[in-house]
């Protein structure tokens, strides 16, 4: 029996039946918000993923965006990707149970049984950060709906038999995010980095990282203090600030 989860203090929420995109609504509202605020919609008609890619939420899946106002420092904003990843990891673990095979894929995906369960999108609006999160709770896109070579998408229900409605999952996620954010603000990136690496997929193994104009192959050594992917390549160590990773 799952323990009841409480909504975290200091976090607001706005709920909608339908939005074109929670990310778009969050960006629109960001300048007028003074407290961290979750924007949730049961359905999205035009959601999007990283680099403007289309993303289909689907009935029963989860989509929400979190506005963190007044952050200012772009470098610190980017590190919230790891905070959000750890919160997602903990929220899914709470729902799916200790037997779920979870891992974190740099820079911002959550894997379940080796497949992509959830993704994260970071965007800025002035001094506010907007974190968009999508989770395949009920079903996953087909292979033809994702980029060639990408990690196969999976759904929580099919992989673990766990049943969770999107509204309830938001409470789990918000409750998991709040302590990680507090830890980040108090102690900086170091404990977040350590925890993320403890759950990292393919750490110490060969991977491929592809940016807009370059591609690298090498051994995934670590992430550095700036959150960059560190590869050991044939040409030496390479620190990569942004890329898509392929296994």
Query: What tens digit of pLDDT does each residue of 99-149 get?
Result: 999 999 999 999 999 999 999 999 999 999 999 999 999 999 876 666 666
Radius of gyration of the chain (CA): 17
Residue 49 CA to residue 53 CA, distance in Å, equals 5
Predicted pLDDT of residue 203: 98
Residue 156 CA: distances (Å) to CA of 45, 51, 129, 146: 22, 25, 27, 18
Fold equal for 12-198 and 206-246: no
Q: What is the pTM of this model?
A: 0.93
CATH of domain 206-246: 2.30.30
Query: Mean pLDDT over residues 203-216, rounded?
Result: 95
Residue 1 has pLDDT above 70, yes or no: no
Q: What is the pLDDT of residue 146?
A: 63
Structural domain boundaries in the chain: 12-198, 206-246
Chain centre to alpha carbon of residue 64: 11
Q: How many helices (H) and strands (E) does the chain have?
A: 5, 12
pLDDT at position 154 = 95
Beta strands in 126-224 (DSSP E): 128-135, 206-210, 215-223
At the second CATH level, the architecture of 12-198 is 2-Layer Sandwich (3.30)
User: Average pLDDT, stretch 70-88?
Assistant: 94
């Amino acid at each position: 029996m799952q323990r009841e989860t409480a909504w975290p203090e200091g976090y607001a929420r706005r709920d909608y039946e339908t939005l074109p995109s929670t990310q778009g609504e969050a960006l629109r509202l960001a300048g007028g918000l003074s407290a961290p605020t979750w924007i949730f919609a049961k359905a999205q008609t035009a959601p999007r993923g990283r680099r403007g890619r289309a993303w289909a939420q689907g009935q029963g899946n989860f989509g929400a965006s979190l506005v963190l106002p007044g952050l200012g420092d772009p470098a610190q904003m980017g590190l919230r990707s790891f905070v959000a990843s750890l919160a997602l990891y903990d929220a899914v673990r709470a729902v799916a149970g200790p037997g779920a095979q979870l891992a974190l894929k740099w820079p911002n995906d959550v894997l379940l049984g080796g497949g992509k369960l959830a993704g994260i999108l970071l965007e800025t609006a002035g001094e506010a950060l907007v974190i968009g999160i999508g989770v395949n709770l009920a079903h996953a896109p087909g292979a033809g709906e994702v980029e060639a070579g990408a990690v196969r998408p999976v759904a929580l229900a099919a992989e673990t038999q766990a049943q969770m409605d999107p509204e309830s999952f938001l409470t789990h996620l918000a409750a998991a995010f709040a302590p990680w954010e507090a830890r980040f603000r108090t102690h900086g990136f170091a404990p977040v980095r350590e925890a993320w690496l403890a759950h990292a997929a393919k750490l110490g193994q060969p991977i491929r990282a592809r940016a807009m104009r370059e591609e690298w192959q090498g051994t995934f050594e670590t992430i550095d203090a700036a959150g960059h992917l560190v590869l050991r390549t044939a040409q030496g160590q390479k620190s990569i600030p942004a890329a898509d990773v392929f296994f």
